[in-house]
Structures are given as structure tokens and as C-alpha cells.
Structure 1
Amino acid sequence: MTDRMRFGVFHAPYHLPMGQNPTLALQRDIEFVQMLDRLGFDEAWIGEHHSCGCELIADNLLFIANALPQTKHIKLGTGVLSLPYHNPLWVADRIILLDHLSKGRAMLGLGPGALTTDAYMIGIDPLEQRNALEEGTDVLKRLLVGETVSIKTDRYTLVEARTQLRPYSDFEVAVAAVASPTGPRIAGKYGDGILSIGATMSAMAPDGVDTLALHWDVMEEVAAKHGQVADRSKWRLVGPMHIAETREQAREDVKHGIDAWFDYFQDVQSAVHFEVAGKSTEERTDFVINSGLGVIGTPDDAIEQISKLAAQSRGGFGAYLVMTHEWADVRTTEKSYELMAERVFPAFQDSVGSLQASAQWAATERSRLGGDQMKSVLNAMEKHKQEMAAAAAAGTAS
């Protein structure tokens, strides 16, 4: 396990059920990131989507630029920027600019694009998206290190292209991995991080594929081939959670919106790699819990889930990211994240171990030191008594 597990969110966002005021929903997204910053979350990854009606952030770099001055510490990343949709020269220019504006708090997450409807609208064959991601990342990485690039592809032409501004920091780059080996291949080639969006999907994977093993094994193999080191601290696992003081309360909380979330994945979004099952609220809640997809329960259930993933990863990972949702109402959702910061973080960050050790040591020494303290009090009282008696005697003698 890494020394200190980081915590964050993977925020599409899913504003469900449909029909919400989009302006207010986007404002809630900013306020949500502010809350995470206040609670001590380490990072937030923001999605890019252009269709399907509920994932409203079309430009995650623009959203991050807006959120940065309204937060203090949290790092903000594109989760993900769909590289096949963009010219890599402009992506390089924009992330370098954001790196300067953020003084190193920006991160770049890359992916092929999750919504086939997005790709369809700009004429990209979904069968080509992963090849386009590999090709585009090669060009982008060359531009980020200052190379001059000339290339002609089916999507763009670059002629002696270069970035005029150098990066402010050695900002993190991570690549999305769901079901295919494409993300780990790219990350391994460049020594970058992985965003395992399919981290909790092993139970739903075809032919019993161990998704985490696939991600890491490919990453290590390709990294070794290219002289890179596969760094577990750069590995981020993603999964949904909602926690409350009791399991019964958590189940009651998610009645607010879990059906709309399931309806979206079952009837609207064409992401067939993310299959969910169930028709009634109870069936759907049970599916999340029993399949291992996520947690609807208590802080202890969240700790158990993350611990299982750590064991399954065969060596640990660097960060757990909550896949955000609106299963519960706004206030109850905020309480879930507060419980996570208060009760789940310490189990993986050793932030209270020294406090517990101090309390235990004090308890073992309480009797002895308390007795000594009482003796000290009695001695002080006796000394005072003797001094007063001596002073009285001296006064009588005079």
C-alpha cells in the first residue's frame, strides 16, 4: 500500500433526474468542489460531455479555470478530456496555460470519449476512438516536452507545430481505463497514471475478467518495454459510494435519485461497458451493494470496500475517487462526504494513529501518574501548612 492514500472524486457530473435548472446545477458543481476543498479532499476530476442531457460540462478546462480561484488547496483535473475530439496542439497550449494560472494545481486526464453520441456528432467512428487516443497522445506528449511536430492524420494536420509557452510545473497526466487495455498501454509507455474507472466492475466484466489485474499487468508490461516505471502512487481507482450513520439510513437516502441514475445507464447512455441491472429501487440498491459496484452503507462499509480493492490490486494504489452521483438530495450527499472525510480518510492515512497511541499510553500511566500527582498536591498542602504554622510561631515570639 502507498504511504498515504489520497481521496478525491470523479465528477461527470450526473445531474439526474432530468429537468433540473442547468444554471443552478452548474453552480452546485462549483459549490461541491469548494466543499471538497474545505473537507480536505485531495483532488477532483471533471468530465467532458456533449450529449445525453445530464452531463452538462462541455469544457472541463474552462470549468477548472473557473473553480481554481474559488478553492485553496484541492488539485483539479480533466476527468477526462476526450482527446480524439480535439487538436492536440490546442490541448497542449491550454493545459500549459492552466498549469501557469493554477500554479501547478491542474492535472490532465485523457480518454477516448465515453459517449458514442458525442463522437457521432463530429463524424468520428467509435471503432476508431481508442486508436485515435493512442495516436493523439503520442503527438500531445511530444508537444508538451517542446518538440516541433509535423503530421497529417484523418482528423488534423500540424505543420511545424510547437507550444510557445513552457509548462509551469511537472503536472500529472493520467489516462482513463475502463474495460480495454488502451489506457494502461498509453500510461505505461509514458510513465503516467491510470484512472481505473472500471475499478469496481470486475463482477460485471465478461468471462470473469479481473479488471484491476488487467489494468496493472498491462501497465507494468508496457512500462518495462519503454524504460518507464509503473508507479502505484499514480494509480487511481474509481467507484460510487453513498454513506450514512446506518445501512438502513443509506438505503433510505438513495431512494431520492438512484432510479433516475439507473434509468440513464439502462435507457439513454450508450456505454455498454457499464451495464447495471435491476428494475425496482430495491433491486437496484441491492445490485450496487451485492455486485461490488459501490457502497450504499456506513463508513465501515466504505473502509471494507476500499480495503478489498487494495487487496485485489496486489500491492495497493495511490488514490480512491468517488464516482459522484445524485442518488441522495444535496444536503444528504454533503453529509456523506463529511462522513467520508471524518471517518474513512483516517483509516488509510494514519492521521489518528498517533492520537490513539497517545491516549493508550496515557491510560496505562494514569494510575501511577495520578497517584504521583495526588502526592504532589498533598505535599504542597503540607508544606503550606508548615509554613503558615512557622509564620504564626514567629509572630507570637515577637
Structure 2
Amino acid sequence: MKLGAFMMPAHPRSRSIRDGHMHDLDTLEYFDQIGLCEAWIGEHYTMPAEPCPSPDILIAQALLRTKRIKLAPGAFILPFHHPAELAHRISLLDHIAEGRFMVGIGASGTPADLDMFDIDHRAGVHRKMTAESIAIMTRFWQSDAPFEHRGEFWTARRPEDRPQQGTAYHLKPFQRPYPPIGVTGLSASSATLALAGANGWIPISFCFTPQYLHTHWDVVERGARDAGRPSPNRDVWRVSRPFFVAETDAEAWRLSVGGEMGRYFREDYLPMLAGNNALGLLKHDPDVPDSDVTVEYVAKHCWIVGSQETVAERIAEMQALSGGFGVLHVMAFDHLDELAPARQSYAMLADVVASRFGEDGATREAAQ
């Protein structure tokens, strides 16, 4: 198993946009220093608690301050971009990164964002737009000749090269035919995870209810099977979850529930889910009343907090419940006001994953 990160990015509403952005940039640089293999960065428009409409700007800056970590938008929301333009932007980023780049794609789960772009999400238009967009982009990346696409939502064309005028379609990705593509899923029957299996994309599970985690891989395998593809390797599967590690269980609980993680869930995430009748996504049992889904509840049932030994045991439980996955994502939060304990937590988690679940740890366990 390897360790990566998923960054919404989330910030207190009192944090200035610049300070939050620079903190995210510093965090990505720190992740590179402690050996994380990758980080995915979200795209949101109308969520003040997650104020990043342009993950590619953060990625472009982070590429100049990092050496090994792979970076990815998580995700570009395809209905909000013209596919011809986005295909070129992705290609440019891939060249700047020299392959340290992956691409998350999504249809958006934020109704206000979709309303802002006048997209009828109630009728599923955003999902249709996403399918058409990725078809256009991959056609650009794989094309060897001019073409024209006239679809339901976009018209796009690769024009004839005009050497006498100095123009030609020329900017294909650094990675051929294109960078690895990833999609996220949260619910047990996530349609996006089925698409991952059907297309050979990277599945990324948000793991708040680990007892249902195995159903995510079942969906991925079913998607591959229905598309006539071979069963994917579990090493491609990413699982994202909130973590906080400290010297003792009590200290980890205090720093997480009483710190920025707790504040974010209490003031932003739980009210947002409640407003969308979606608190069930966090329940370990569907009979749990909404009123019981508090920060303390999610810390116990959805997060992993504790000492290194406790965290190692909980990760092992995740592996057993899921059947195994390749990359564990720690969800990153704004820790600008609690930087030292947060960075210690990230470093301690990196040590747990490398020593207990990485290649060396797995080799030792197999030999015992």
C-alpha cells in the first residue's frame, strides 16, 4: 500500500483566499517531503468552505516546489469547461509535470454550482455532458487527422493543418495516449465507480462507512465485466478517509475533534449534508437518527484517529473489510493554526503506512 492525499481544499471562512491557497501549496510541498505518492485537489465554485475553482493553478505552482509527488485535479468538473479548451490545458499541465500528473473527472455533486452554469442536474444533464466531454477530449488526444464532433452539448473540431499560415493541432499530452484518469465514488452503488471499471480508469472511494467499502470494488469489477474488460488490479484502487495521528488515542481525539477537522465537520460539512438529506452517507447503520450524527459520531465511526498502533489496527481492518486496495488517501484540512501537530500527524501516518503496509512491511508480515 502507498499513501497519498485528497485535498478539497477546505478552509475556515475567516481564512483569506490567498492565505488558504498558500497553505495548500505549503502542504503539498510537505507531502512531497514526507514521501506521499500523490495528491488530488478538488474544484468547487459556490462552496465558501471549499473555495478552489481552479485546481490546475494550485497544481502548476506545486509542480515547481515538488520533486516526486504526482498531482491531479480531483476533479475537473467537465460540464463547466469546453472540452477542446480543457483537453489543451490538460496536455500543457502534463508536459509541465513530465508525467507527474493524473486527471480526475466529474459531473459535480453541488447543485448550486450546476445552477450557476444553468445545467439541469435534476434531469441528469450534467452526467450526459460529462460523458460527451471526455469522449471529445480523448478523441483530440488520440486523433491523427482532422475530425468534427457535433454533439448534444458541444461542437468541436480538429482543423486541417495549415502550414502556410503557421497553424496546426500539435499539443497532445506528455503521457500517451493521455494521463491516467480517475473518478470518485461515495455511495455503495456509485455509477461513477462502475464507469471506472468499464473504462479502465482509477476508482477513488470516499470511505466514511468502511463496512460497505467492499461493495465499491464489486461495482468496479461489474463495470469492467459488463464492458468486456479484464478484472482490474486492486492496486489501482484509491480509498480516501480523514485521519489524525498523535502519541496517544486521547491526544489524537482532542486534536481532531477539538481542532480544525472537528470545526469543519461541525460548521460546514454536516450542515451541508443535512441540507441535502444526505447524512445517511455517514451512518454505520441506516437506523441511526440524523440527530445522532455529530462530530463525535463521525470521529468514532468515519474517521481514523489515535496512536500509531491504533491507526495501524484500523487500517488493517479497512484492508480486511475491502479485500485490499493500493493507495490510501489522507483527507487534508486547513491546519494553518495548528501546523505542528497536523504535520506530525501526517508524518506519523506516513511512517505507519510505509513500515506496516508498504513493500517492506508486507514483506516482513509475509515472512512471519
How does the TM-score come out when normalised to structure 1? Answer: 0.77
Corresponding residue for residue 239 of structure 2: 237
Q: 1:200 aligns with which of 208, 212, 222?
A: 208
**Alignment check: 8 A CA contact 2:9 2:50 kept:** yes
**Alignment check: 8 A CA contact 1:9 1:324 kept:** yes
Corresponding residue for residue 118 of structure 2: 123
State the secondary structure of the residue aligned to 2:64: helix
**Alignment check: 8 A CA contact 2:213 2:321 kept:** no
* Structure-2 separation of matches of 1:173 and 1:266: 29
1:19 lines up with 2:30 in the alignment: no
Give 1:160 shift: 4.3
* Structure-2 separation of matches of 1:235 and 1:322: 14
**Alignment check: 8 A CA contact 2:70 2:102 kept:** yes
**Alignment check: 8 A CA contact 1:262 1:276 kept:** no
1:177 lines up with 2:185 in the alignment: yes
Give 1:31 shift: 0.5
Give 1:286 shift: 3.2
Give 1:294 shift: 1.3
Percentage of matched positions with identical amino acids: 27
**Alignment check: 8 A CA contact 1:243 1:297 kept:** yes
1:99 lines up with 2:94 in the alignment: yes
User: Which whole-Å deviations, capped at 9, do the CAs of 1:361-383 have from their partners, x for residues lacking one?
Assistant: xxxxxxxxxxxxxxxxxxxxxxx
* Structure-2 separation of matches of 1:190 and 1:276: 28
User: Which whole-Å deviations, capped at 9, do the CAs of 1:288-324 have from their partners, x for residues lacking one?
Assistant: 2432x1112122232222222222222x111010122
User: Which whole-Å deviations, capped at 9, do the CAs of 1:224-264 have from their partners, x for residues lacking one?
Assistant: 33343323221101111111110110121121221342221
Corresponding residue for residue 319 of structure 1: 327
State the secondary structure of the residue aligned to 1:70: coil
Corresponding residue for residue 144 of structure 1: 141
Q: How many residues align?
A: 342
**Alignment check: 8 A CA contact 2:3 2:353 kept:** no
Corresponding residue for residue 158 of structure 1: 156
* Structure-1 separation of matches of 2:111 and 2:75: 15
Corresponding residue for residue 46 of structure 1: 41
**Alignment check: 8 A CA contact 1:175 1:194 kept:** yes
Q: 1:376-387 maps to which residues of 2 (within 5 A)?
A: none
1:189/1:138 CA distance change after superposition, 3 Å? farther
**Alignment check: 8 A CA contact 1:288 1:296 kept:** no
**Alignment check: 8 A CA contact 2:103 2:182 kept:** yes
* Structure-1 separation of matches of 2:131 and 2:7: 24
1:288 lines up with 2:298 in the alignment: yes
Corresponding residue for residue 174 of structure 2: 168
Q: 1:267 aligns with which of 263, 266, 271?
A: 271
**Alignment check: 8 A CA contact 2:208 2:282 kept:** no
**Alignment check: 8 A CA contact 1:265 1:276 kept:** no
State the secondary structure of the residue aligned to 2:47: coil
Corresponding residue for residue 387 of structure 1: none
Q: 1:303 aligns with which of 305, 312, 325?
A: 312
Computed over aligned residues only, the root mean square deviation of the Cα atoms, in angstroms, reads 2.9
User: Which whole-Å deviations, capped at 9, do the CAs of 1:8-49 have from their partners, x for residues lacking one?
Assistant: 110001102x21122111111000001000000100001111
Amino acid aligned to 2:271: D
| Structure 2 residues not aligned, in runs of 5+ | 161-168
User: Which whole-Å deviations, capped at 9, do the CAs of 1:69-112 have from their partners, x for residues lacking one?
Assistant: 11011000111111121122222111111111111001101111
State the secondary structure of the residue aligned to 1:351: helix
1:201/1:86 CA distance change after superposition, 3 Å? farther
* Structure-2 separation of matches of 1:271 and 1:151: 36
Give 1:276 shift: 5.1
* Structure-2 separation of matches of 1:335 and 1:283: 28
* Structure-1 separation of matches of 2:92 and 2:38: 19
Greater gyration radius: 1
Give 1:283 shift: 7.6
| Structure 1 residues not aligned, in runs of 5+ | 204-209, 361-398
* Structure-2 separation of matches of 1:89 and 1:283: 43
1:228/1:356 CA distance change after superposition, 3 Å? closer
**Alignment check: 8 A CA contact 1:83 1:112 kept:** yes
1:248/1:169 CA distance change after superposition, 3 Å? same
1:173/1:272 CA distance change after superposition, 3 Å? farther
Give 1:202 shift: 5.2
Deviates more, 1:246-255 or 1:178-187: 178-187
Deviates more, 1:74-83 or 1:88-97: 88-97
* Structure-2 separation of matches of 1:332 and 1:309: 25
1:191 lines up with 2:200 in the alignment: yes
Amino acid aligned to 1:334: R
**Alignment check: 8 A CA contact 2:2 2:353 kept:** no
Deviates more, 1:91-100 or 1:138-147: 138-147
Corresponding residue for residue 216 of structure 1: 217
